[in-house]
Amino acid sequence: MNNQVKTVCDVRLNNNSQLAGFTKSSDLPYFLEKIGNIKYVHWVRVAPEKELLKKWQKKEISWRQYEEEYLTMLMRRNIQEMDIFEQLDRGCLLCSEPTAEQCHRRLLAEYLKNSIPDLEIIHL
């Protein structure tokens, strides 16, 4: 594996959706372990709140408003106190969006980089 991922950090709110396919929480840890000896963790605490996600999906708020509300949520949840930092070493954030431009995984990665200046962000 080129990127040497050690842990997939699932940042989706709903990791059991019918749309998740093989990435459902019941299947993904098995495949990751068997295929690449990769660990799986679900970081629901950094997933967007259901109401916020729905407002964005229904286009009731702009991307800029979504960003602001999501980042405020991270601060309110005080995610710096989460025991996640060792999982970031060769960790890969997983969500449902195909690209990082309008995705909370990018916002989360940038937020974490503010706490960990030497954190390298690579979009796969």
Please give the average per-residue pLDDT across 7-26, as a whole number.
69
Considering the chain, what is the average pLDDT of its residues?
84
Quick one: pLDDT band at residue 1, thresholds 50, 70, 90?
very low
Task: List, for residues 33-46, the tens digit of each pLDDT value.
Answer: 998 999 998 888 89
Task: List, for residues 40-84, the tens digit of each pLDDT value.
Answer: 988 888 999 999 999 999 999 999 999 999 999 999 998 877 777
Please tell me the distance from the alpha carbon of residue 101 to that of residue 81, in angstroms, as a whole number: 27
Nearest CA among 38, 49, 39 for reference residue 14? 49
Please give the average per-residue pLDDT across 14-39, as a whole number.
73
